[in-house]
Copies of this chain bind each other. A is one copy, B any other.
Amino acid sequence: MDSHVTLPTPPVSEFSMPSKTKLKITALAGGVGASKLLLGLYEVMDPGLLTIIVNTGDDIVLHGLKISPDLDIVTYTLAGIVDVSKGWGFRRETFHTLRRLAVYGRPNWFNLGDRDLATHIHRTAMLADGKTLSQAADSIRNALGVKSCILPMTDDPVPTLIDSNEGSLHFQEYLVKRRAEPVVRGIRFAGVESAHPAPGVLKAIHAADRILVCPSNPLISIGPILAVPQIRNQLRAHQEKVFAVCPIVGGKSLKGPSDKMLFHLGHDPTALGVARLYADFTGTFVIDPADQAQASTISTLGMKVVILPTVMKTCSQKRKLARNLLSL
């Protein structure tokens, strides 16, 4: 076995680690998948030392309201108000407004709950008042009592567009309206070449003791973050600090259509396929024991490989992976 490959670490007991670590962590995150790990981190470290850079390619304007799904999923999760069964939205949510919007002939394929709408209305009003998306995100996480810093990857609109056998679709149309059924032929982040990293993003990468790439879709959750000018280069400059958690286990997505999208776009829908996409900026690639057989091949890409249980179904699993990542 290649010297870069680390065998599965002995499992860390819930009680054998100091409950807080002093490492400054910066995480790159999409939505639901990332939030599992983020919640684990939030609970086992000083949350004030955690900074999260969030994908905004999923953002969409509906009914004149600026909706930032991944920012909200991360924020609601850490605030403890998320609907855990779905991974997004408020728990015990109602949909009275949405039903009445449909009466006015407005599209209702995107679920907007009554409580959730307050977030979109507040953010939209802040933007109309000349504030930035970063300022809105900070206002929201502060109001909800989240102690970690939550940064959009950019304050500029960079909508993810899916080129498919049904034409060009906004990512939300592809995912939610069309339930990820169209065949993906290409992905574009419209306007990304002229986007700027949001204030604090480059510094958060520079200043971190450890940078974690959460187990999110590499193409449409982490991909947009990497596509913002300067961010990928900044990660490369700190490659030894970058730990990426593979979102594919045993050839299947932990969450969402990653495997299918990888396949349709000519990538291997495997840990190795993801590793190839991350090799230029990642120091350590974290795979599940299920993919142990790919470890030595992945290590030939120039990354260390660490094998850790990455499937997080329970709170305990989330905390355990978080602790393991902090203890590497």
Q: A residues bordering B, Cβ < 8 Å?
A: 63-65, 94, 96-101, 103-106, 114-115, 117-119, 121-122, 124-125, 128, 139-140, 143-144
Question: Which 7 pairs of residues, A with B, have the shortest CB-CB distance?
Answer: A100-B118, A64-B125, A96-B114, A104-B122, A114-B114, A101-B118, A100-B115
Residue of B nearest to A113 (CB): B96
Q: How many Å from the CB of A266 to the closest CB on chain B?
A: 39
Q: Are B97 and A115 in contact (CB under 8 A)?
A: yes
**Are B64 and A143 interface neighbours, CB within 8 A?**
no
A143 surroundings in chain B (CB, below 8 A): 103-105
Cβ contact within 8 Å between A121 and B101? yes
Closest CB of chain B to A272's CB: distance in Å?
44
Partner of A124, one of B64, B96, B119: B64
Bound CA span A305–B186, Å: 76
**Cβ-defined partner of A63 (8 Å) among B96, B104, B114, B122:** B122
| Contact yes or no, B114 A101, CB < 8 A | no
Interchain CB contact under 8 A, A100 and B124? no
- Partner among B63, B101, B118, B124 whose Cβ is within 8 Å of the Cβ of A97: B118
User: In the bound complex, what is the Cα–Cα distance between A65 and B98 (angstroms)?
Assistant: 16
Which residue of the partner chain B has the closest CB to A92? Answer: B96
B121 touches A94 (CB 8 A): no
CB closest chain-B residue, reference A104: B122
Give the residue among A65, A94, A105, A121 with the most B Cβ atoms within 10 A. Answer: A121
The answer to whether B101 and A122 have CB atoms under 8 Å apart is yes
Q: Which of B63, B99, B128, B139 contacts A125 (CB 8 A)?
A: B63
Residue in B63, B99, B119, B122 whose CB lies within 8 Å of A121: B63
Task: Please indicate the chain B residues that have their CB under 8 angstroms from the CB of A96 in the complex.
Answer: 94, 96, 114-115, 118
User: Smallest Cβ distance from A161 to chain B, in angstroms?
Assistant: 21
Which B residue sits closest to A127, measured CB to CB?
B64
In the complex, what residues of B have CB within 8 A of residue A121's CB? 63-65, 97, 101
